[in-house]
Amino acid sequence: MNSHFEALSGLVYHELSHIWGHGAPSMPGFDDVVMYRSVKHAQHGVMTHRMRMVMHSGTHVNAPIHMIQGGVGVGDIAMENLFGNGVIVSVPKGKWELINVADLEAATPSIKEGDLVVLVTGWHKEYSDSLEYFGDAPGLSIEAAQWLVSKKVALVAIDTPQIDHPLATSLGPHRGGPIMNRLTAKYQDETGLDPKKEHGVWNGAHKVLLGAGIPTIENVGGDVNDMLGKEALLHALPWNWKEGDACPVRLVAITNPDGNYRIENGAA
């Protein structure tokens, strides 16, 4: 467990991010993170890295501009959407399953207006450079995304590589896909279903959330299992990059010794 206890305040900080760096698993179709030390201790007495990367790598936040023309970039996301009261919800899902409205309505603790919501399917345990992690993942249904919008949540994070079902993305038979060449046939063979009929809208759930101004975080990981079913103060601030479509973040949950922490709204 990678948590940190701060003795003076009594607060406990919990890691909800995957380890990031050279060789981090990358979405099919995206370049890998590549980095090297251009200045080295042994030679120069100081160290500096150079890197080339896609911002959608590791645990990262997506801004509305990622899918919504004219939407805000990561540097213009309101800070209250990235730091505040949150819930870590257990919604166990297996291969190609969907999080639906009933799952969210039954969530413990209940999802409240303004919450930063972390959805944990258990898929973070598969995090790797593999066909299974990216191609077999569960996802969020369009109806569930609409439910979250109606609850006026501040942020939606998930422990899968994408918000939507993989067959509703370009990994499957959508926009420039299938990027994973064997995925469509595999889905048809194993389920007997037509992916275009079952998942006919490209990134539908993601567009619903970003279209409502709700930022998203993908690839949640770390010690998230230790926080299932708990409330916490969540922190996920990206770079102050006005045009940014996405940015790696270190997602942290903060609790007090009683196991929870919520900021009161100050109302009398």
- Are 244 and 73 a contacting pair, CB within 8 Å? yes
pLDDT tens-place string over residues 151-191: 999 999 999 999 999 999 999 999 999 999 899 999 999 99
> Is 10 among the domain residues?
yes
Does 7 score more than 70 pLDDT? no
Q: Is 144 exposed, middle or buried (0-12, 13-18, 19+ CB in 10 A)?
A: buried
The residues that bridge with 119 in the sheet, in sequence order, are: 89, 158
Specify the pairing of strand 83-90 against strand 230-235.
antiparallel
Domain of residue 103, residue span: 3-21+55-164+203-255
In a domain, 178, yes or no: no
Average pLDDT over residues 230-235: 96
Domain assignment present for residue 194? The answer is no
Question: Where residue 10 falls among pLDDT bands split at 50, 70, 90?
Answer: confident
Beta-strand relationship, 252-255 and 12-15? antiparallel
In a domain, 101, yes or no: yes
Is the residue at 82 inside a domain?
yes
- Band (pLDDT 50/70/90 cuts) for residue 257 is confident
DSSP state of 262: -
Residue 46 dihedral angles phi and psi, to the nearest 5° = -155, 160
Does residue 177 sit within a domain? Answer: no
pLDDT grade for 1, boundaries at 50, 70 and 90? low
pLDDT of residue 262: 74
Give phi and psi for 187, each to the nearest 5. -60, -45
- Residue 79 counted as domain residue: yes
Q: What is the CATH number of the domain that holds 107?
A: 3.50.30.50
* Domain count across the chain: 1
Q: Model-level pTM? A: 0.94
> Would 158 be classed as within a structural domain?
yes
Quick one: average pLDDT of 129-150? Answer: 98
